[in-house]
Amino acid sequence: MAHLKALPLFAALALAAACSQPGVKASRLAAAESQAQQPAPPAVELVAKAPPDYPKQSLTPDILFKFLVAEVAGQRGAIPIAQSTYLDLARQTRDPRIARRAAEMALFARDQTGALEAARLWAASEADSERAQQTLAALLLNEGRVVEAEPVLQALLKADPAKGFLHLASLMGKMQDSRAAYDLVTRLAADYPDLPEARYAVAQSAANAGRFDEAIAALKAAEVQRPGWEAAGLMHAQFLAKVSRSDALAFMREFLAAHPQAREMRLAYARTLVNANQFSEARAEFTRLTRDFPGNAEVGLAAGLLSLQMGDVNAARDLLTQTLEYSPRDTDTVHYYLGQVAEQMKQPDVAAARYAEVKTGNYLVSARARQAALLVAAGKPEEAGALLANTRGENDAQNVRLIQAQAELLRHSKVPTAVFDVLTAGLKRYPDSAALLYDRAMAAEKLGKLDVLEADLRRAIVLRPEDAQAYNALGYTLADRTSRLPEAIALLDKALALSPDDPYILDSVGWAQYRAGNLPRAQAYLEQAYKLRPDPEIAAHLGEVLWAKGQRDEAGKVWQAGLQGHPQNEVLLETLRRLKP
């Protein structure tokens, strides 16, 4: 029964996820580019800067005691005590160093009120500190105190307009009143009509307020003022993608045609191509990026995975092997995919060695499962079983998947009782695992233990009420193996509501309608299922309904098509033996 097969053991890697790690965010890139516009500092400062003119404090016993209390409390994790003591000290001493520490403690404790008071003290006692003024402005904006924040922001902008607007853009997402934020930035930017960073900040605030037309207009102005500015271009592409990915891709192509050295834009373009499933074009871009970002492990990994996706195993092997030389943060993923490459190249020993290098992470269980499969193929099923039994996952989810892998190994060895026993032992460790309950239900069906199947699937439904597969499996079994058709149809209707385009669920619904004697409805559901997925078991069911309706030539054609691709399918062969002896 196709729709009662065990759920896939391991989800395949979503290629887009492998390529979606952000490179340089637009705001950070904007800051870096703006900084690059400034004159470089001298190699050696000939005159040392004067230290800040902090107020002289008498170290009284009271101040010393409070300071020690605050520090010890902070070190021991008693944050509320540390915070209140530092704030009391800041009020008492008006020392900017203590006020800054009080603000840090309050922010750590998520006490906005205390942080704002400390920041006011800090900014008042160290008026020329950019960090103090930035902290005060950010906290005021967080609290929606736009009127109070505006003069602070004006002072920051006067000191360094470009840097100030980029910092302001980064604060916009923290304001609850996005309209007030937009109005504030628009007022501030009006005094800097020729500054691209001002247009950039306006664009960010407009987008946060849902005013995408104004955001795009501001970015176009910024791009005119500074042609080729990647930060503005990246934000422009991001906003376009919210409406139309194809428009975003067209914009990025045009940008890259005019500015071919824009590496961050090319990286974003390549990732967007992946998300659009345009793998061939994405591969070409990532391959180019391996030259633009020599030694970048994430780019090399993406190029290697795309080559694997395209079936170019030689390029995939070379790129992934090279990626290992770049000391990637996640060597386990690279080794896993090198194992996949080796399997495709019919090099089982190389593949097994690569999988053995996977020591931790998301691919640990997948790697051990592939090692076990290779051992079975080499005629060593006992070693395969021992490998899985001796592997320990890093968490409960991995341990559950290891139990599933052991059961899958035994299932391929056609030992149904052993499969059931392994899953039963697993459920003693993880009684609330819906995945193990589902798998044991499938094993119970093979042994004719329908009472266990029903109990396990009903428990799985309680644990995961939105899981269409559990409803489908129980409904199909009741329709196929019992006379409880109304109950079966109700369960299958629920499954179909949760997953209306699942061909296996459509097959189950059609089969239940056939068992209930509703042949036209059965045919409609089964034809829809077969169109979505020409599976041999769906072919068996559709052919049987057509046969029952007297459309025997059509039934024979459906069965013949199923046999061409799956000549050994047991369900299809059993149907033919029963109806065409």
509 is a domain residue:
yes
User: Residue 532 falls within a domain, yes or no?
Assistant: yes
Residue 20 has a pLDDT of 36
Q: How do residues 133-157 score in pLDDT, each as one tens digit?
A: 888 989 988 888 888 889 989 999 9
Distance between CA atoms of residues 453 and 289, nearest Å? 53
State how far the Cα of 235 lies from the Cα of 226, in Å rounded to an integer.
14
Distances, alpha carbon 207 to alpha carbons 181, 210, 239, 272, in Å: 11, 5, 8, 20
Tell me the C-alpha to C-alpha distance, in Å, between residue 433 and each of 11, 12, 397, 438.
17, 21, 9, 9
Q: Tell me the C-alpha distance between 193 and 178, whole Å.
A: 22
Domain hosting 550: range is 499-581
In a domain, 404, yes or no: yes
Q: How far apart are CA 168 and CA 85, in angstroms?
A: 31
Read off the pLDDT of residues 163-200 as tens digits, 9 standing for 90 and up: 999 988 988 877 888 899 999 999 999 999 999 999 99
Backbone Cα Rg of the chain: 32
Query: In this structure, what CATH number is given to the domain that contains residue 412?
Result: 1.25.40.10
| Number of neighbouring beta carbons within 10 Å of residue 378 | 13
Classify residue 28: in a domain, yes or no: no
Do residues 545 and 573 touch, judged by C-beta distance below 8 A?
Answer: no
The token pair that represents 327 in the structure block: 């000391």
Distance CA 84, CA 99 (A): 11
Q: How far apart (Å, rounded) are the C-alpha atoms in residues 374 and 348? A: 7
Contact between 199 and 189 under an 8 Å Cβ cutoff? The reply is yes
Quote the CA–CA distance of 510 and 528 in Å, as a whole number.
9
> Nearest Cα to 443, choosing from 426, 467, 424?
424
Report the pLDDT value the prediction gives residue 100, as an integer from 0 to 100.
Answer: 92
* Residue at a domain's end among 443, 462, 481: 462
Q: Is residue 259 included in any domain, yes or no?
A: no
Last residue of a domain, one of 438, 462, 486: 462
CB 176, CB 192: distance < 8 Å: no
Is residue 530 classed exposed, middle or buried when 0-12, 13-18 and 19+ CB atoms within 10 A define those classes?
buried
C-alpha span between 268 and 229 (Å, rounded): 14
Q: Are 512 and 479 in contact (CB under 8 A)?
A: yes
Specify whether 454 is located in the same domain as 504. Answer: no
3-state helix, strand, coil in the chain (%, to 5): 75, 0, 25
pLDDT per 10-residue tile (average), the chain, 581 residues: 33 31 46 44 32 60 79 84 84 88 88 89 88 89 88 91 91 83 93 95 93 94 95 95 93 95 93 92 92 89 93 95 90 97 97 97 96 95 95 96 96 91 98 98 96 98 97 97 96 98 97 97 97 96 96 95 93 92 66
Does 528 share its domain with 447? no
* pLDDT score, position 7: 27
Residues recorded for the chain = 581
**How many other C-beta atoms are found inside a 10 Å radius of the C-beta of residue 519?**
15
Nearest CA-CA partner of 150 in 160, 163, 164: 164
What's residue 211's pLDDT? 92
d(Cα 106, Cα 109) in Å, to the nearest integer?
5
Q: Give the pLDDT confidence of 246-267 residue by residue, as tens digits.
A: 999 999 999 999 999 999 999 9
Same domain, 456 and 389: yes
528 occurs within a structural domain: yes
Q: Residue 425 and residue 400: Cα distance in Å, rounded? A: 11
Q: Could you tell me which of 95, 19, 32, 93 has the C-alpha nearest to residue 60?
A: 93
Residue type, 61: P
Q: Are 252 and 265 within 8 A, CB to CB?
A: yes
User: Count of domains in the chain?
Assistant: 2
- Do the Cβ atoms of 282 and 273 come closer than 8 Å? yes
DSSP 147: H
CA separation for the pair 526, 537 (Å, rounded): 11
Same-domain status, 385 and 451: yes
163: nearest Cα among 190, 186, 131, 141 = 131
39, 44, 46, 47 alpha-carbon torsion, rounded to 10°: 70
In a domain, 412, yes or no: yes
Q: Pick the closest to residue 315 from 332, 298, 329, 303 (CA basis).
A: 303
Q: Give CA–CA dist 39/195, Å, rounded.
A: 17
Task: Calculate the CA dihedral of residues 315, 317, 322, 324 and round it to 10 degrees.
Answer: 150
| CA–CA distances in Å: residue 46 to residues 40, 41, 42, 51, 506 | 15, 11, 9, 15, 79
